[in-house]
Every structure is written in C-alpha cells, then in structure tokens.
Chain A
Amino acid sequence: MNFKDTYRRLNDAVLPDRRLTDELLKRAGKQSRRHRPVRTLRIGYGAAAAIFCLCAGLFISMPVLAARLDPVHRFLYLLSPRAAQYLMPVQMSAEDQGIRMEVVSASVHGDTACIYITMEDLTGDRIDETTDLYDSYSIHRPFDAVGTCERAGYDAASGKVSFLITLKERSGEWEEHSIQGEKITFSVKEFLSRKFTCEDLSIPLDLSDLPEEPRTKEADLRGCGGDFEAYGIDETARVLIPDTSVPVLPDDGVTLTGIGYVDGMLHIQTALEDTPENDNHGYLWLETDSKTCESVYTVSFLEETKDGHSVTYYEQVFDISPEQLTDASLHGRFVISGQKTKGCWKVTFPLE
C-alpha cells in the first residue's frame, strides 16, 4: 500500500463549505473595500450579559408574538419580562444521545441577531448549570457577522440550560440587503458538564532549592500564549523533560511534572491528562510578600503515554530570580470538566 495514495484519497474529500465559497464569490463581485472574515469569537459571561441587555432593549420595539412560559421565557422573565414577550418563537429541535437541543427563538433588529437555544437531558442528568459548549459549536450563516454563543442561564425546575447566540454585523452588508428570512445552521458536536473550578489552590513545593541545570529538550509546540514572541519562541522551544511528580489534582489528572531554571528563567511544567477529551485547563502563579508574579509566556506540547493516553504539558515561564523565590509560594487555578457528552445536534432555522 502506498502512503501517498491514501493521503490523497483522504484529502480529496476535504472541501470548503459551499456557502463559504459563495460568500467569497459574492464579495469578489462587489469588490467591496470593507472585507472581513466571518469569525466565531468566544466572549465572557459579562459580555454575554451586556449583549443580552442590548438585545432586550432592541426587542422592545418589535411586535408582541409570543410569551410562552417555557424555561427560556421563564428565565428571561426573571431578567426582563418585557424582553421575554418580544421573542420570536422558532421551536425547532434536534435530538441525539438522549439530549434535545431546541432553538427557542430568533430575532433580528438592526445589526444584531439574537437566538436562544436550550439543551435538556431526556434520559439522565448530563445537563447542569455548568454545561459548556466550549469550542464544539459552529454557526453557519450566509452573511458576514461576528458570532458568539454563551450560556444564558439554567432552569433547575426543567433541567434546561439556555444559550444566547449573538450575530453582529461586521461589514455594512445588512444595510444592503435584509437578513430576515436567511437561514442559519447551529450545530453542536459535544459539550462538557459537571465542571468545577479550583480557585487559589496552594501547591506544596519547596521553591528554595530548585535545580539550576534541569534536563531539557527541544519540543515541537502545539500552542503558546503570553509574550512568547519577545522571547524568540516560534514553533519549537526548549522545555523541561518531565521528571517530577507533585500531585496537584491527582483525581483529575493534574500533576506538576517539572520545575527549574533554564537560561535564567524559571520554568514550571504542569501535565494535564487527556485535555483533547475534557478541556481541563488552568494556570499557576507565584506569590511573594503579597506580590503576585505571573508567567511571561506559556508553551504547550503533547506526549503519548504507553497506554495510548495523551498528556498535554503546559510550561509556564517566569521572570523571577532564585533570590526572590526564597519566600515565594506557588498557587494555581484549575477548571476541571467532570463529563463530556458527544453527539450530533444540528438545527437549521430562518431568521424571522
């Protein structure tokens, strides 16, 4: 068997979504000067609340069409009874793995479209107030917009969690033609639930006697953050060879696996098991005399264990001298996902 042939066959099936190409062709036709890609951004809960308030304000000028007391409306009534009355009902749903996803409402006003969806577990208790779609959702739309999706609330009585999808115009295109009636496809392929956060976890480690020349290796990076470019980090970096095992959250696969000075910078390495499967994440910081010291950059790389599990190593690099470390303590914050549910939930609906 020829590797090249198999690789070619695999890639022959990879093609862009026709709607993306159509959108580009339309742009090419217009030769507009204001071209921006459609991006899917994630926003914080505070921003979601702000957008909700914006949407709530916008809805006020729309006619009354529905005021059903389903969980989403109940939730909305808690925040704004007026907004709940002005939602446009959609009520289209998809069901898989005993989980139902329903598009409850969709409304457009000006340059903002707001869509509410709910998810509920018909057979168990996999949906809770921590349910997170993280990066597993996609919003396909035939117009240029910034799309976000954030958890809007949880109704304990019905066990439904609700999400607010917001599409905001980017290019002035909506002024040229209305998006009313345009179809949107919202899909989810997996979600996390039963999440918990360990805030300010104190990590018992003697920082006064660290190895000055720890064993290192050149690793191919899978990601990096912070001010890494200023330190000349590109696609590879010199990292610690994991050789320590200080349990941080042992039940959840979080371990401190290395610490030491490399080229005058303090490297602290944490291992998280199966992160592609659970999205567990976190970070460390140092505290010295009430002063907090954050890492200047972080790199991550992946290794496979003998039993086929993958371990992601996050190495944080601190600009702190050994002398400053003498009275320092190490702290961490970790977000742990208790359960991941996979499936295929996809709903296509019109913006009315």
Chain B
Amino acid sequence: MQDRLEKTIRQYSPMVYRLACARAGNRQDADEIYQEVFLRYIRKQPAFQNETHEKAWFLKVTANCANSLWRSARKWHTEPLPEDLLLETPEEIDLSHALGKLPPAYREVIHLFYYEELSTREIGQILHRRTSTVRTQLTRARAILKKYLKEEYDEF
C-alpha cells in the first residue's frame, strides 16, 4: 500500500507542480496547491480505472485546488511572475515574462495544451469548460503571447 502511494506521488509530483506553477504564477502558491492535491490523494486514496483516469484525476484536482486558492480573499492583489526558475536562455526569460502577462486561466490552458499535450476537448473536461471556450482562450492566449514575445516562432 505504502509503496503504491509513494510511487504515485513520485510519478505525478512534477506534473502537478508544473500545472500549479502555471496557474498560480508563483512558487509560494504552487507549493500550497501541490501539497493540498497530494494530501487529498492520501486521504481519499481513490481507485483508478487506468493510468489515463489517474492522470486526469490529478490534473482536475490540481485545477480545482488552484481555483479554490485563487478565489480566496487574499488573492485580491495581482499575482507576481514565477520566481526562482532556472531560466537559461533569453528565449526562456522572454517567454516567462510573456506568460506572466496572461490571466491565470489562460496560462492553465496553454500549459495543458503545450506541455501535457491534451486536446481542447480533454482540457475542457478537466477544467469544466466548454471546448469552444478552451479554443477561444487558447487563441487569445497565443495572441497575447505573440504581442509580448520578442522571438519569432515558426510554429505556435
């Protein structure tokens, strides 16, 4: 039992933390979201049908926990950019800065699409948004990023 819990935590830790960072925009909140997700997992220990189901559960709970944190009163102020990241190239620094210009909901969609490689339909299911809403948000997010990115990307 313990081995299974440990294996699952290790397996999904990076995925959960990256989505939390993408949504929260700062490490302090991401830490909080990250812990809450796995504490829920430890408490509930849900049974999963397969790995796809398991992955979707973790993404959904991360999005929900991030929403809960965002809705709390202390999130009144504008959130800062991600900090402490190991940014090695000018493109990464540039991209990090541009991502900070996006509303949290757009960063979430961008992350699930480009990093987790989910379809807009899958993203909609995880975030409880219509597929058309996800598509619109993706389009708007790209437009905002293009405005702020100095780098010209061949493929977007």
Contacts and interface: CB of A to CB of B under 8 A. Distances in A.
A28 B37 CA distance: 13
Interface string B47-88: 000000000000000000000001101111111111101111
A28 B103 contact: no
Interface of A: 1-4, 6-11, 13-17, 20-21, 23-25, 27-29, 31, 33, 35-40, 42, 135, 138, 189, 220-226, 229, 235, 275-276, 279, 281, 298, 300-302, 304, 310, 312
Contacts of B82: 14
B63 to A, nearest CB: 12
Contacts of A40: 28, 32
A223 B9 contact: no
18 contacts: A3-B153, A8-B114, A8-B115, A14-B85, A20-B31, A24-B39, A25-B6, A29-B2, A29-B5, A35-B42, A37-B32, A40-B28, A135-B28, A135-B77, A135-B80, A223-B76, A235-B103, A275-B78
B78 A20 contact: no
A302 B78 CA distance: 8
Contacts of B92: 6, 9-10
Given A36-B39, A223-B70, A300-B76, A2 B101 contact: no
B17 A7 contact: no
A87 B42 CA distance: 38
B149 to A, nearest CB: 8
Interface of B: 1-2, 5-6, 9-10, 13-14, 17-18, 21-22, 27-28, 30-32, 34-36, 38-39, 42-43, 70-71, 73-83, 85-89, 91-92, 95-96, 101, 103-106, 110-111, 114-115, 145, 151-156
Given A222-B103, A275-B77, A39 B155 contact: no
Contacts of A31: 1-2, 5, 42
Contacts of A7: 95, 110, 114-115
A78 B17 CA distance: 45
Contacts of A281: 76-77
Contacts of A29: 2, 5-6
A13 B89 CA distance: 12
Contacts of A222: 78-79, 103-104
A40 B28 CA distance: 8
B71 A224 contact: yes
A3 B156 contact: yes
B93 to A, nearest CB: 9
B28 to A, nearest CB: 6
B34 A16 contact: yes
A10 B155 contact: no
B107 to A, nearest CB: 11
B40 to A, nearest CB: 8
Contacts of B114: 3-4, 7-8
Given A11-B111, A24-B42, A189-B83, A42 B74 contact: yes
A220 B106 contact: yes
Contact of A35 (B43, B89, B156): B43
Contact of B31 (A16, A276, A279): A16
Nearest to B100: A276
Contacts of A33: 43
Contacts of B35: 20, 23-24, 37-38
